[in-house]
Structure 1
Amino acid sequence: MPAMVIVGAGECGARAAAELRAGGWDGRIELIGAERHLPYERPPLSKAALLADHDPVPLSAYDAAALRDLDIIHHTGVEVTDLDREQREVVLAGGERIEYERVLLATGATPRMLPMTAGFHRAHTLRTHDDALRLRTQLRSATRVTVIGGGFIGLELAAAARSLGCEVTLLEVADRLLGRAVPAEVAALVHARHVEAGVSVRCGVSLTEITETSSGTTVTLGDSTTVDGDILVIGIGAVPETTLAEKTGLHVDNGITVDHRLATSDPRIFAAGDCSSFPHPLYEGRRIRLEAWRNAQDQAVVAAHNMIGGDRTYDAVPWFWSDQYDVSLQVAGLPAEAATEVVRSRPDGVHIRYGIDGTGRLVSAAAVGTGNSVAKDIRLAEMAIAKRVVADPAALADPTVNFKHFLR
């Protein structure tokens, strides 16, 4: 009997495998991963894994016993080299072929590289558990760390390095941190917290040369100044992993293109997680791609349901989070969609910036606070965004107005 085959054994792939079984699929499920680990969660890699006093073990989403109980065949350290769509077979690196009923591509993304650092031994990116182990080791022997990239991953890596006592210089080509991911004022608060922690943050720079010696790295900037470091950490985003999809002739456009059901241009092949580009109904069906933990989890559920005959639409509100030092940053929706912004500041120091589009509809919320202080606000905002609530700006700005007022 043909199998349900999942290419990519990260959180998205493993969740989809479990959902297939929960949904009633009683045939074979083959989960194929290139890494030699059980499926594990990636968010701790830029946080707890780097700060741990001992070599961290991957935080497994599903341990070996759980996979056995679900009767999921898990291949580790195995590359998928081709999809034979005519024969409906997945081709493995060793030549083995697996006949499939449906395929889910959960291939994720790969860190964006700087060509000028090719072959460097002291330049790091972070995507896998093994990457985190290598970086963790070097951070403990480094005094000076240069971080390139002022997005979520670059900032988390800078925070980790500074928390370990390193001198940190963060370089960002754009004129502010976090680009279009959060409103400028929220980015400014994050910027200030890094400066307070002792990070030298330099925005609006250009990189003209990066060199490496046996003892460190040197970044030469457009103004001819240089930044020396013992190691270099590159956090400038990620590229969707579409190699297999392209090789087999599937449509690709900033990710593997899927429809509202997460099916690709071949109805027997689905894609989910960081690798997929999908039309979002909240944004007039415009195609977007998200690199986010929850998106990968939620898309896994929808894809699995539809692989066994369902017809669910993926319409979850985008949600992002980042912990840096004692600061929690959470974002619901897409701030770039906002025509105007409304600020709500609470006495406990929480700063929330709501985004409203041209019709008055709430389309985003970004909040900064300590600990879990922003979680409830963002969760309520998610609900309002999903319901397409038209919100009164004055009431949004008033911290004495219970947000549940907008959900009635």
Structure 2
Amino acid sequence: MSGIVIIGAGEAGTRSAFVLREAGFSGSVTLVGTEPHLPYERPPLSKPLEGAVQMKAICTTEALQAADIAYLAGVSASRLDAAFGSILLSDGRTLTYDKLLLATGARPRRLTCPGAQCALDFRTFADAMAIFSRTEAGKTVAIIGAGLIGMELAAVLRGKGVAVNIIEAAPKPLGRAVPVRFAEKLHARHAAEGVRFHLDRGVVAISDDGVTLADGSMVPADLVVSAIGVLPDIALAEAAGLATGNGILTDTYLRTSAPNVFAAGDCAAVFEPGAGHVRYESWRNARAQAETAARNMLGAAEAFSAIPWFWSDQYDLGLQVAGLPQPGHQMVVRPAGKGELEFYLDDGCLVAAAGLGPGNSLAKEIKLAEMLIAAGISPDPAELMDPGVNLKTLLKNARAA
């Protein structure tokens, strides 16, 4: 094997490059990124430090050089020829590969109403700079979309004294990913902080004055931000004839339909027995898939398996969710200091957990809950409910059994 090319220098692409070296690969590794910066983490973008947008680098130039990773910044892949094992770059160069990892990530879902171009996206460092450089106390911002990104941005802007209106087509915020009770608590907290919600309302048009809603009302705004979710970036793979759907389709080993081509991160829809092709959008998932893909490109045969997990910081509250809570699950609530934990049982088996509390105060409990889920235990709901029963004890007993 002489060379591995990675398209996408986000969390998945960059992590996979370093794992290749950690696993002992000595051939060439080329990492291609569309942005002009060093690879950076996206979560800190919504958390300005002393008014400045944070760019938290995933790695340094020195680390890339020490690992002998060729980093091509500010260029994109224009065409993939999977039959010949080559990639045409936007600057005219052609790269050949023995193995290829597609870590192209996701792109913002676009509004289609008149004036949509007036709304700013919130995905990249440049997007964050554009938003925060134009927001200050006394300004009014309209955020279209009440998902995690929109709500996190609202919390930060309220902390800066910016008036915030959130517009959401669904009847309630955070409806897709966040457990119902915790979504309601976060909604109430935002309302208490002065965020105005316009729920169950479609957007008709955007202008310099603000956002016109389907009921004819106008939401005034100095700035409009679109936060209506993302779509997997599959254009390169699709044009090359790879199997795609809600992402680049892979098997359990993260192999695509093309020989020697793998996919990982937000762009990958991974086959899960009994569930079909599933795509997750989270920082941890990107890292975990990257590590599995890197080892499999070197000849391993590791089926990807990880418990979904994400977190969100809003005001002083920290939300963490492990697993996939479903409406049909039995839910058990457990007080935890100034916060709460929720456990979800499916036919008695613990399959998910969530926590909402001050800062990172419930991180230890959620980590233990993940370990309990991985152990496949069927705990007594009364013990889960009782804060006097140590989760570590439950895990120890499960392992002993």
Common fold, TM-score beyond 0.5? yes
1:184 corresponds to:
180
1:356 corresponds to:
345
Q: Pick which of 13-22 and 90-99 moved more.
A: 90-99
Matching residue within 134, 137, 148 for 2:133: 137
Contact 2:33 2:74 in 1 (8 A): yes
Matching residue within 312, 320, 343 for 1:322: 312
SS of structure 2 residue aligned to 1:223: coil
Counterparts of 1:42-191 in structure 2, within 5 Å, are: 42-48=42-48, 51-54=49-52, 56=53, 58-116=55-113, 120-121=117-118, 123-140=119-136, 143-191=139-187
Contact 2:269 2:278 in 1 (8 A): yes
* In structure 2, C-alpha distance between the alignment counterparts of 1:362 and 1:177, rounded to whole Å: 26
Measured at CA, do residues 296 and 78 of structure 1 come closer, stay the same or move farther in structure 2, by a change above 3 Å? same
Measured at CA, do residues 339 and 299 of structure 1 come closer, stay the same or move farther in structure 2, by a change above 3 Å? same
Deviation of the 1:138 alpha carbon:
1.1
SS of structure 2 residue aligned to 1:365: strand
Contact 2:82 2:259 in 1 (8 A): no
CA-to-partner distance for each residue in 1:332-380, whole Å, 9 max, x for gaps? 001127522111123x2211121112x2111211111001111011111
Segments of 5+ residues of structure 2 without an aligned counterpart are: none
* In structure 2, C-alpha distance between the alignment counterparts of 1:198 and 1:368, rounded to whole Å: 21
1:233 corresponds to:
225
CA-to-partner distance for each residue in 1:217-273, whole Å, 9 max, x for gaps? 2x2223332211111111111000000010111111200111111111123001000
2:322 corresponds to:
332
Deviation of the 1:390 alpha carbon:
1.5
* In structure 2, C-alpha distance between the alignment counterparts of 1:273 and 1:166, rounded to whole Å: 34
Counterparts of 1:365-376 in structure 2, within 5 Å, are: 365-376=353-364
Give the fraction of aligned pairs with identical amino acids, expressed as a percent: 44
Deviation of the 1:82 alpha carbon:
1.1
Contact 1:142 1:231 in 2 (8 A): no
Counterparts of 1:240-389 in structure 2, within 5 Å, are: 240-280=232-272, 284-336=274-326, 338-346=328-336, 348-357=337-346, 359-389=347-377
Contact 1:351 1:369 in 2 (8 A): yes
Measured at CA, do residues 53 and 222 of structure 1 come closer, stay the same or move farther in structure 2, by a change above 3 Å? closer
1:210 corresponds to:
205
CA-to-partner distance for each residue in 1:364-406, whole Å, 9 max, x for gaps? 1111100111101111111122222212222211111111243
User: How many pairs align?
Assistant: 396
Contact 2:44 2:54 in 1 (8 A): no
Q: Pick which of 159-168 and 194-203 moved more.
A: 194-203
1:396 alignment partner AA: L
* In structure 2, C-alpha distance between the alignment counterparts of 1:338 and 1:404, rounded to whole Å: 27
Measured at CA, do residues 220 and 338 of structure 1 come closer, stay the same or move farther in structure 2, by a change above 3 Å? same
TM-score (norm 2): 0.95
Is residue 2:398 matched to residue 1:403?
A: no
TM-score (norm 1): 0.93
SS of structure 2 residue aligned to 1:356: strand
Contact 1:148 1:172 in 2 (8 A): yes
* In structure 2, C-alpha distance between the alignment counterparts of 1:117 and 1:316, rounded to whole Å: 42
Contact 1:180 1:336 in 2 (8 A): no
Deviation of the 1:180 alpha carbon:
2.9
Contact 1:5 1:29 in 2 (8 A): yes
SS of structure 2 residue aligned to 1:351: strand
